Amino acid sequence: MPELPEVEAARRAIEENCIGKKIKRSVVADDAKVIDGVSPSDFEASLTGKTIVAAHRKGKNMWIQLDSPPFPSFQFGMAGAIYIKGVTVTKYKRSAVNDTDEWPSKYSKLFIELDNGLELSFTDKRRFAKVRLLKNPASVAPISELGPDALLEPLTEDELFKSLSKKKIGIKALILDQSFISGVGNWIADEVLYQARIHPLQSAASISKDSCAALHNSLKEVIRHSVEVDADCSRFPVIEKAVEVGADSSQFPSNWIFHSREKKPGKAFVDGKKIEFINAGGRTSAFVPELQKLSGEQAAKAAVKPQKRSSKKNKDEDDEPESEDEEIAKNAKPEGGKKTTQSRAKNPNTKRKSIENDDKSSDANDKKSATRKKSKGSSEVDEHQKGSKGHKKPPAKKKAQESEEDSDDDGEEEGEEEERVQVKGKKEVAKKVQTGRQTNKRAK
């Protein structure tokens, strides 16, 4: 993604090769997403016949000054780039084009042919750039809303410290803010903070005077060296395709985090120290925890957070064991067959259900006992009526049939006697069942 060094290299290429040249012909792409606020035909008519007077830049924005307004303005976005055909291959290779390259590129948004034979093209493969036609680009957004340029208008150390003291957001988020300092992008911000040994999430207002001095110095040095590498394009390899842009990373100091920030987590190291990646300012940020540590209250809070998690775990481990009823309720399987993990405290109905189940079990046992007693009582009545001890007890049904065969009168008397005994037995059983329930409840 083009940052200050890349845009500055494009500006210098135009300044050194196109100043004083007249625009012979121009072609503007029919792409309303990139060509902002003007039709291609109006744009072309405003450029043709004009002479290039100067090339200006602020932050990541550039505009070409002509001998009369309006002027073409370029916001580079994520993949914007300037290419010039006809520049000597040993100069400004970032903007140079080979004879074998497609020209103009199919991604060209503005093509200009100069009267000396040079040809210039602004390309944007990803279509996030903006090309505008403005009377005074510096006086309108987005350029008018930018903060001081990191290269051309650097803050003094005291100005930087005073500005930081008013900001409570993370330092990386702040220096990425183009209204604070313009031109700093993601990789430059990571490099500046690494060289200054400042954590990306450190609150700007909490940065000490010494750390601010280190930040001021690294910001100046990283920007200066990056611009030199990009502008001195004789150090770049030949561009094989017009749309490809990239500096020779070997020209950057070996102790820069720049060389490893694109590697996968766990495999990125600088000077033998591990690089980690976090989100800071809404961007993936590379930093070295061993060297870039939080300070002040943020360091204390960072140290307390894991301790809190540990304390909670210990508390759970040290809790008193649950009662037997609670363990049963926790491990009980519901109708679906799955274990429930709810504790008895979370389900107050569990105890009530347990008691009801116990009552039902007790009722079943009492009924079985009552049935046995009833059977025994019936047998005793039969034996008493038969009047013979030690004789085998016939079933009640068989005894009733025998009695009917003997005589109707005897059967009626025996039937009435048996009915009285059964009624009495049922009352006794009911009384015992009720007594058994009360006994079980008291026991529980």
Q: Which residues are catalytic?
A: 2-3, 60
Of 167, 169, 211, the C-alpha closest to 193 is: 211
Residue 157 — φ and ψ, nearest 5°? -60, -40
The angle that helices 396-406 and 349-386 make with each other, rounded to 10 degrees, is: 30
The angle that helices 324-331 and 349-386 make with each other, rounded to 10 degrees, is: 100
Coil, helix or strand for 38?
coil
Q: Give the pairing of strands 80-85 and 71-75.
A: unpaired
Of 113, 140, 110, 143, the C-alpha closest to 31 is: 110
Q: Give the pairing of strands 130-134 and 71-75.
A: antiparallel
Q: How many CB atoms lie within 10 A of CB 26?
A: 20
Structure tokens at 316: 């759970």
DSSP letters of 84-134? EETS-TTS-TTTB--TTS-SS-TTEEEEEEETTS-EEEEEESSS--EEEEE
Question: From residue 333, how far is each of 98, 131, 342 by CA, in Å?
Answer: 76, 69, 11
Of 55, 96, 47, the C-alpha closest to 233 is: 96
Beta-carbon contacts of 321 under 8 Å, excluding residues fewer than 6 positions away, are none
243-260 burial, b if ≥16 CB within 10 A, otherwise e? bebebeeeebeeebbbbb
Question: From residue 59, how far is each of 56, 91, 231 by CA, in Å?
Answer: 10, 24, 16
Cα separation, 117 vs 217, in Å, equals: 43
Coil, helix or strand for 72?
strand
Q: How many CB atoms lie within 10 A of CB 114?
A: 20
